[in-house]
Amino acid sequence: MTSSESVFQHDNPFTIGIEEEYMLCNPETGELINRANEIMENIDSDLKSRYSYELILSEIEINTSVCKTVSEAMEEITFLRGNTKILGESLGFRLGISGTHPTAICKDQVFVDNDSYRWVVEQLNYYARRNITFANHVHVAVNGAECAIHVANSLRRWITPLLALSTNSPFFEGELTGLRSSRTFQFGVFPRTNIPVRFNDFKEYSRLIDKYLETNTITKPRQIWWKIRPHIDFGTIEFRICDAQRTLRNIEMLSALAQALVYQAVEDYNSNTLLESFNMEYLYDGLWKASRFPMEANIIDPVTYEVCTIKEQIEQMMEYTNDSLNFFNNSHIVKSVNHICENGTEGDDQMEVYNNSGFEGLKSYLMDNIEFQLN
């Protein structure tokens, strides 16, 4: 067993970790301000592992520890949101949450000055500065490297419905982009951010990483930024699909769905019923449609090749995860899914606020309407 494979050995599979990326905003104007260094310098020493830089200094990431349940992870997210809010206010800035900042100008962004991000800037130049994006990522532990590869293959099927439930970035540089998730394509200009191909086994996946390292395509495996990836540092499946969410109930929903999807896929793998081979064009068409159109849009089911709506594929996902959600005592999140299907996503909320109050009202809304308690 290689060192990469051994990372996927877990006494407690299906543990969960959540990452959130926040905007750092001027409390008076709502514009981005470059204050991440001050956060990193002033956080309590026992919380330093829970915070990390992103590419630009107007952004900060928080991450939970490895949690046994979604409920436990949500307790940590709630604490970290509140702690970051208090710290920000003491330093003279506020948090905002959205998949993109609605009016921030790319040329005004300042990069984090470390080896990792200097490499990104050197590689991507102009497009690195355009990455004013903020996401929600979820990790779920999988026991066994071979199992993880096949599970990741299968989970590509659900990228479209997960994105459709979480679209929250309709604006960029003061423009209504026409996209429901402009973050998907702002970040999507980076290489290796696509939907991954199907891998036959863990050896094939490891060979790809080795070849990328050999050719200086990447300097470390984390620079493979696919929508779903097996994470060889943590031994998890990482979901990297969703825009950042203001409401904790949406974070809970997306995290519970990720855990349930992984659990059900592992069950299918163990029973030799796992579906892994999909038409890539249909997967990409679904990604595009989910980022651009409402849930009534037609897509092509990547399994049956039949035409269905995005909403119908969400219903398929909920049917697929029903038993798993019950197993983890998370079936209550179905209410959140239904609420979004009936009333729209947080991105729809943004467009309504903009229509009523313009960008000034919207920037205030993205600071004033963050949930700090799970209702």
**Which residue would you say has higher pLDDT here, 287 or 125?**
287
pLDDT value of residue 1? 65
Cα distance between residue 128 and residue 220, in whole Å: 18
pLDDT in tens, 183-235: 999 999 899 999 999 999 999 999 999 999 999 999 999 999 999 999 999 99
Query: Residue 104 in contact with residue 45, Cβ under 8 Å?
Result: no
Cα distance between residue 255 and residue 229, in whole Å: 16
The 3-state DSSP class for residue 154 equals helix
Tell me the CA end-to-end span of the chain in Å, nearest whole number: 45
Mean pLDDT to the nearest integer, 232-241: 97
- pLDDT band for position 70 (cuts 50, 70, 90): very high
The 3-state DSSP class for residue 27 equals coil
Which secondary structure element, helix H or strand E, spans residue 291, and what is its range?
Answer: helix 280-292
pLDDT > 70 fraction of the chain, expressed in percent and rounded: 99
Please state the domain extents for the chain: 3-368
Mean pLDDT, rounded, of the chain: 96
- pLDDT band for position 97 (cuts 50, 70, 90): very high
SS3 letters for 252-289? HHHHHHHHHHHHHHHHHHHCCCCCCCCCHHHHHHHHHH
Which secondary structure element, helix H or strand E, spans residue 340, and what is its range?
Answer: helix 334-343
pLDDT value of residue 154? 98
pLDDT in tens, 305-320: 999 999 999 999 999 9
Mean pLDDT to the nearest integer, 25-50: 96
Q: Is 188 exposed, middle or buried (0-12, 13-18, 19+ CB in 10 A)?
A: middle
Query: Residue 299 in contact with residue 313, Cβ under 8 Å?
Result: yes
- Residue 215: CB atoms within 10 A of its CB come to 8
Six-digit token pair at 142? 């999988």
Cα distance between residue 21 and residue 136, in whole Å: 7
Q: Which of 347, 313, 21 is nearest to 160 (CA)?
A: 313
The 3-state DSSP class for residue 52 equals strand
pLDDT value of residue 2? 74
pLDDT value of residue 309? 98
pLDDT value of residue 375? 80
Cα distance between residue 66 and residue 236, in whole Å: 11
Please give the sequence-ordered ranges of beta strands (E in DSSP) within 51-156, or none if there are none: 51-53, 59-63, 94-96, 135-141
- Residue 158: CB atoms within 10 A of its CB come to 24
- pLDDT band for position 353 (cuts 50, 70, 90): very high
Mean pLDDT to the nearest integer, 249-263: 98
CATH architecture of 3-368: 2-Layer Sandwich (3.30)
Q: Are strands 16-25 and 94-96 parallel, antiparallel or unpaired?
A: antiparallel
